[in-house]
Amino acid sequence: MKILNSEITPYSSYINRRKFIKNTLLTSLAISFSKPLFSKHSESPSTYNKFLEENDNLNTYHEITNYNNFYEFGTSKSDPAKYSQSFKPLPWQLAVEGLVEKPKIFDLESLLKGITIEDRVYRLRCVEAWSMVIPWQGFSLSKLIEKVKPLSSAKYIQFETVYRPEEMPGQKKLFNEIRGILPWPYVEGLRMDEAMHPLTILSTGMYGHNLLNQNGAPLRLVVPWKYGFKSIKSIVKIRFMDKEPNTTWSDVNPYEYAFYSNVNPQVDHKRWTQATERRIGEFYRRPTLMFNGYEEVAELYKGMDLKKYF
Ligand SMILES: Nc1nc2c(c(=O)[nH]1)N[C@H]1C(S)=C(S)[C@@H](COP(=O)(O)O)O[C@H]1N2
Ligand SMILES: [Mo]
């Protein structure tokens, strides 16, 4: 089903323009290693009201932690909450390798010591056409990138999820086995300018708690203008590369999933429309916004045919 442009425009025009101010209004709290480990913020929705757009409401903690995609723990939305209980997110190491001056294996706690954790209230738009509004805690990925000093030949970054079949029941099935889900480990990628964009964060928490296992503990990517599958969870490796990295979903089905996967109401998924979405907790469908409403990233794609590079 195609939805005409004219049906989308009115919504964008009533989006509150304060959004551009809001993106710069980040509160910062120094991290402390008393509990919770990485984030010390409130669970009360009103704390985050100042970050909300006119037409958005925060999803509840319960919704955000019980309606998940994390195929390592199963394919239905309730599986990750159910089957991730024995996953151990700490201690955690993050390996940074490839085309950098300073490849390094970081211990997560020491990596976070010098880093300020910020609040970022972002919409998450899943390719399956549902969405949520989530109060993340995290920091700009650019801060980590600067630490390792990429070589000028580094044009892309690939991210890799941990491989622990003993703790992640979905990984026990190999891709080509009967009922195998995906090839493991899950990998994703960004172009360097996308990775450096201030909206791109590594998240350590949500609603003031350390991330729960089902949301990608202890460290996951959040790229708010791309479909949810780009926001890879439980990251153990970041690799700087000179070529476009392969990504799990485009390896499995390049016809339906491509590298960029920017939210674009004018480019349908091969099996359904992307022009509208259902916000979890609401009953009506809303028009989907170009770049999920984060129009400031449009300049990254100037001159690119976004129907071809979908
Ligand atoms: N490793 C890994 N990361 C993943 C996924 C996954 O299956 N495995 N699912 C993706 C998809 S499709 C979405 S929509 C988001 C969901 O994040 P949330 O459950 O925290 O809302 O995680 C993404 N990251
Ligand atoms: Mo998704």
Whether the predicted pLDDT of 2 surpasses 70: no
Q: What is the pLDDT of residues 36-89, one digit of tens each?
A: 556 666 678 888 989 999 899 999 999 999 999 999 999 999 999 999 999 999
| 216 CA: nearest ligand 1 atom | 20
- Residue 184: per-residue pLDDT: 95
How many other CB atoms are there within 10 angstroms of residue 252's CB atom?
A: 13
- 233 touches ligand 1 (CB under 6 Å): yes
- 72 touches ligand 1 (CB under 6 Å): yes
Q: Are 216 and 146 in contact (CB under 8 A)?
A: no
Whether the predicted pLDDT of 293 surpasses 80: yes
| 126 CA: nearest ligand 1 atom | 14
| 234 CA: nearest ligand 1 atom | 1
- Residue 270: per-residue pLDDT: 96
Residue 275 neighbours by CB under 8 Å, 6+ apart: 1, 2, 3, 7, 8, 265, 266, 268, 287, 288
Q: Are 171 and 135 in contact (CB under 8 A)?
A: no
Walk me through the domains of the chain, giving residue ranges and CATH numbers.
5-301 (3.90.420.10)
For the CA of 233, the nearest ligand? 1
What is the overall mean pLDDT for the chain?
89
Q: What is the pLDDT of residues 195-227, one digit of tens each?
A: 999 999 999 999 999 999 999 999 999 999 999
